[in-house]
A and B are shown apart, each in its own frame.
Chain A
């Protein structure tokens, strides 16, 4: 079966986006998107785990008995998460402290389990790797958009504390949108994440509806008028 790479890419980033369409992995999505740096950190970690697990699951798909596939997937995912956790501890320790429990909790992120079970265990390695990458990228994109929304609304800044992830060169990346912003705590707290997420999903649905409407329109004009030939 020749994998349709274009479709995989489109599905991961938009059509079947894990956060916006499948609504998977909402727990970390809602919990850590208080700022852009948290969002990127968690997004990258999830993407790496997703790619690793998809690759491994796909490579071993012929040897995994169907009855015990889920425990095996969990063990594969857990080992990748442990590796990522140790990496983050080594290189981005402060960010690791901020993200805290949500790094180990990537194991339970349904998006990763879902891709392993729905895609990787039925498809060849190359397609699975691409699927993991694109799904991870789609997930990260939503995290970043939500993080940017909540950070700008809640604190009046963008890209603050980016040096936690990108080192000293990112010290000056912080943009203060409004001076003396009083802060809007609601956006930073979890309910703000739910409302923000709802708005992003609504936006996606609007865009989809527009695209659909545009595709249909010329079709309507081209349809031949019905001609009565009898009676």
Chain B
């Protein structure tokens, strides 16, 4: 019997960016399928268009920076950025919105800061926030889930060709109005003096369409659990975000159920699940240590609730993630774990005393 002489770390194989990114792409597929099923072909078209643009811009900027093209394209990171942005935008967003968004994500938010690993902010979310403040009308009109079109008797989504024409040529099919509407978060926010209960009963997207949002959130949740199972991400960030958001929402719902939405609504509406599992967990822009990830996640959960309820925009995941990206280096500085063999962790400011 041969003894194996190796020194630590005893890893089976190196984890590389390509494998991680490929798993992330795989994990978003249930969410993508659910979005396409409930909101029509727009999401699928947007995602494909965004991925094409992302890879294109990435190739151009890598050429301009005189870096090896194949090596950087093979890590799939541009593809993931494009994919996330495509999932985050409204399904009927015109083609040029995606061009602006992907350009900002890849060129400005990623490569002007030095490329993958150097960017302080999540590129997809920088692009989303920029688009949201630049084109508020386009960015806040969402598609109605098919459950609400024509009583939901059949799979009543806008046809593929019609959707394609709408996105790329701006040709509106005659039935456009029955396919577009507000999101649940939008409805909850612009309720016009109604209590939460009245909004639930009166606004169609909440009364009939909420099932679609539940299903999409469940699909993202599934993808997220898969990523945790495959050890692409640890449970800390998503758990901290969801627990904080749910906890704070429960407290406020318990105090004043007329004014605040229930915690389950906060967890399933909007981009909560997509944000918690796929966006906040970006290893480049989030905190590093497990303890740091918990602090980071708590911050995001709190900010989502605060911005949703008292801020100017209906959904808050992008802003919450960006603000906590900004604090991630600071969190890291104070949550550095004790390394083996040392009595105390090195925390806080380096140098000085």
Chain A residues proximal to chain B, CB less than 8 Å: 182-187, 189, 191, 195
Contacts and interface: CB of A to CB of B under 8 A. Distances in A.
Contacts of B134: 183-187
B167 to A, nearest CB: 15
Contacts of A187: 134
Nearest to B131: A186
Contacts of B133: 185-186, 189
Nearest to B100: A184
A185 B135 CA distance: 7
Contacts of B100: 184
A182 B139 CA distance: 13
Interface of B: 100, 108, 130, 133-136
Contacts of A185: 133-136
Contacts of A191: 130
Contacts, number: 17
Contacts of B135: 182-185
Contacts of B130: 186, 191
Majority SS at the chain A contact face:
helix
Contacts of A183: 134-135
17 contacts: A182-B135, A183-B134, A183-B135, A184-B100, A184-B134, A184-B135, A185-B133, A185-B134, A185-B135, A185-B136, A186-B130, A186-B133, A186-B134, A187-B134, A189-B133, A191-B130, A195-B108
Of the candidates A182, A187, A195, the one having the most CB atoms from chain B within 10 angstroms of its own CB is A182
B163 to A, nearest CB: 20
A187 B133 CA distance: 10
B100 to A, nearest CB: 8
Nearest to A154: B134
Nearest to A198: B112
Contacts of A184: 100, 134-135
A229 to B, nearest CB: 41
A97 to B, nearest CB: 25
A11 to B, nearest CB: 29
Nearest to A187: B134
B65 to A, nearest CB: 13
A70 B135 CA distance: 46
Contacts of A182: 135
A182 B134 CA distance: 10
A3 B100 CA distance: 50
A184 to B, nearest CB: 5
Nearest to A185: B134
B108 to A, nearest CB: 7
A185 B100 CA distance: 12
A111 B254 CA distance: 55
Of the candidates A183, A184, A186, the one having the most CB atoms from chain B within 10 angstroms of its own CB is A186
A195 B104 CA distance: 11
Of the candidates B100, B133, B134, the one having the most CB atoms from chain A within 10 angstroms of its own CB is B134
Nearest to A184: B134
A65 to B, nearest CB: 39
Nearest to A186: B134
A186 B131 CA distance: 8
Nearest to B138: A182
Contacts of A186: 130, 133-134
Nearest to A182: B135
A10 B135 CA distance: 41
B117 to A, nearest CB: 21
Contacts of A195: 108
Contacts of B136: 185
B140 to A, nearest CB: 13
**Closest 6 pairs between A and B when the two form their complex, measured CB to CB:** A186-B134, A185-B134, A186-B130, A184-B134, A185-B133, A186-B133
A145 to B, nearest CB: 19
A204 to B, nearest CB: 16
Nearest to B96: A182
A156 to B, nearest CB: 13
A187 B104 CA distance: 12
A187 B135 CA distance: 11
A226 to B, nearest CB: 31
Nearest to A189: B133
A103 B133 CA distance: 28
Given A184-B134, A186-B130, A195-B108, 6 more contacts: A182-B135, A184-B100, A185-B133, A185-B135, A189-B133, A191-B130
A228 to B, nearest CB: 36
Nearest to B136: A185
Nearest to B97: A182
A79 to B, nearest CB: 40
A36 B100 CA distance: 24
A184 B108 CA distance: 16
A195 to B, nearest CB: 7
A184 B165 CA distance: 23
Contacts of A189: 133
B130 to A, nearest CB: 5
A42 B135 CA distance: 29
